[in-house]
């Protein structure tokens, strides 16, 4: 693990050691997630972006997840508590060529029972005097799944993803975007720790969660940005999600940004609804057992609401802009057909610092 982290970390240190140039940026953020289901996740992030040569930008980031949980997922499987640590490092390159932009990136993440390698390529073309921007992308991720305390357990999951999107000016105050993402998952997608209770005439017993090995996912996203009175903007996004497991989901995001000089406030609301996977049951009976069984609440029918406030404060200093940010998101998840949990509430808190050179 250390050797695999070494290359991206060395790149980040090299980027940091170079003298600062215009548009270089340094970002430091920490996000804390806490919910009523006894789960806390602390996620520190550090990112560097360097204007390395004419039209070329190199970027790198490191993000960790420090997880502590006694959620229903954990306690229903005979454990009282779990703790985990996940690290992710990523490096990317962007090259601008007149009206075109190409990009390439690599991401590696690891935790004690999971390892992931991902690579992505992107191409962007400005059209019609830069009123239209067309983007296409492809990414591939290879995942190795393990199980704590069982060195013989090894499964893999490969994910191919392709996307196409368009951003279009719709007047002097308005811009819209439309995008489609397809991904194909091939491999192990269950949790090696999750067991499903089966109700039988002679009593109940548990079997390991079993999910299909293949999954096709489709996402269509439409976005709209409108500049309003004073210095403010309204953001509206909608996503339709469909997959081959029978899940369909709708997501609506509303955001309102308003600037008061160096201070920008953002108020947002996000509503999400999903219908359960076709094989999900509130309880499984031995008399009518489908080929796939799950006790994953993320595959059940539920809705959620996230309401948040964010404040950005930009402080111009010599040859650089310093920005401080603070964010509070409050959320509610309501589970409609999941037997072990009816709802959870919580908060997502974040603090951040960005330095941009100019």
> Which residue from 90, 40, 82 is spatially nearest to 63, judged by alpha carbons?
90
Q: Which of residues 12-71 bind another protein (CB under 8 A)?
A: 27, 29, 31, 33, 41, 43, 45, 47, 61, 63, 65, 67, 69
Residues in region 227-246 near another protein by CB under 8 A = 227, 231-233, 237, 239-243, 245
Q: Does 352 bind another protein (CB under 8 A)?
A: yes
* Spatial separation of the C-alpha atoms in residues 219 and 249, rounded to whole Å: 9
* Shortest Å distance, C-beta 113 to another protein: 6
Phi, psi angles (nearest 5°) of residue 2? -60, -45
| Binding-residue total with another protein (CB under 8 A) | 98
The H or E element spanning position 242 is: strand 232-243
CB-nearer residue toward another protein: 146 or 339: 146
Angle among Cα 14, 108, 237 to the nearest 5 degrees reads 100
Instruction: Give the CA distances from residue 76 to residues 56, 166, 270, 284, in Å, rounded to whole numbers and listed in that order.
Output: 51, 45, 30, 16
335 binds another protein (CB under 8 A): no
Stretch that binds another protein, among 1-9, 108-116, 198-206, 281-289 (CB under 8 A): 108-116
Binding segment toward another protein, per CB under 8 A, in 14-22, 50-58, 137-145, 197-205: 137-145
In whole angstroms, how close is the CB of 77 to another protein at the nearest point? 12
Q: Are 91 and 63 in contact (CB under 8 A)?
A: no
SS3 274: strand
Judged by CB under 8 A, the chain residues 157 through 176 that form the site for another protein are 159, 161, 163, 166-176
**Alpha-carbon gap, residue 76 to 45, rounded angstroms:** 32
Question: Interacting stretch for another protein, rule CB under 8 A, among 4-12, 16-24, 93-101, 220-228?
Answer: 220-228
Residue from 26, 60, 124, 225 binding another protein (CB under 8 A) = 225
The footprint of another protein on residues 87-106 (CB under 8 A) is 88, 90
Name the segment binding another protein (CB under 8 A); options: 15-23, 197-205, 226-234, 284-292: 226-234
- CA-to-CA separations, 245 to 141, 185, 187, 290, 357, in angstroms, rounded: 20, 12, 14, 13, 47
The answer to the question of residue 281 lying near another protein (CB under 8 A) is: no
Q: Is 191 in the site for another protein (CB under 8 A)?
A: yes
């Amino acid at each position: 693990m250390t050797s695999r982290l070494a290359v991206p970390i060395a790149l980040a240190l090299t980027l940091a050691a170079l003298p600062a140039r215009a548009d270089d940026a340094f970002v430091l953020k920490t996000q804390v997630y806490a919910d009523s289901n006894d789960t806390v996740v602390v996620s520190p992030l550090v990112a560097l972006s360097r204007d390395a040569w004419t039209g070329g930008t190199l970027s790198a980031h490191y993000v960790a997840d420090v997880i502590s949980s006694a959620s229903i997922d954990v306690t229903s499987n005979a454990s009282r508590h779990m703790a985990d640590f996940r690290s992710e490092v990523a490096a990317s390159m962007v090259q601008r060529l007149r009206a075109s932009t190409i990009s390439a990136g690599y991401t590696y993440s690891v935790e004690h029972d999971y390892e992931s390698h991902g690579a992505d390529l992107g191409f962007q073309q400005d059209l019609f005097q830069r009123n239209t921007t067309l983007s296409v992308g492809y990414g591939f991720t290879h995942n190795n799944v393990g199980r704590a305390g069982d060195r013989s357990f090894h499964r893999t999951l490969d994910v191919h993803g392709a996307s196409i999107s368009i951003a279009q000016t719709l007047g002097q105050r308005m811009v819209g975007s439309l995008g489609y993402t397809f991904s194909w998952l091939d491999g192990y997608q269950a949790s090696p720790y999750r067991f499903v209770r089966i109700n039988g005439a002679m009593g109940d017993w548990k079997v390991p969660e079993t999910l299909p090995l293949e999954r096709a996912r489709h996402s269509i996203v439409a976005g709209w940005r409108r500049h309003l009175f004073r210095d403010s903007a309204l953001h509206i996004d909608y996503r339709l999600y469909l997959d081959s497991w029978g899940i369909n989901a709708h997501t609506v995001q509303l955001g309102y940004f308003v600037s008061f000089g160096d201070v920008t406030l953002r108020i947002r609301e996000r509503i999400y609804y999903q219908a359960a996977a076709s094989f999900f049951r509130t309880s499984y009976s031995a008399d009518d057992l489908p080929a796939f069984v799950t006790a994953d609440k993320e595959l059940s029918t539920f809705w959620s609401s996230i309401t948040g406030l964010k404040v950005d404060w930009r402080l111009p200093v010599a040859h650089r802009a310093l920005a401080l940010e603070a964010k509070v998101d409050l959320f509610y998840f309501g589970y409609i057909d999941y037997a072990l949990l009816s709802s959870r509430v919580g908060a997502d808190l974040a603090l951040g610092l960005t330095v941009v050179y100019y």
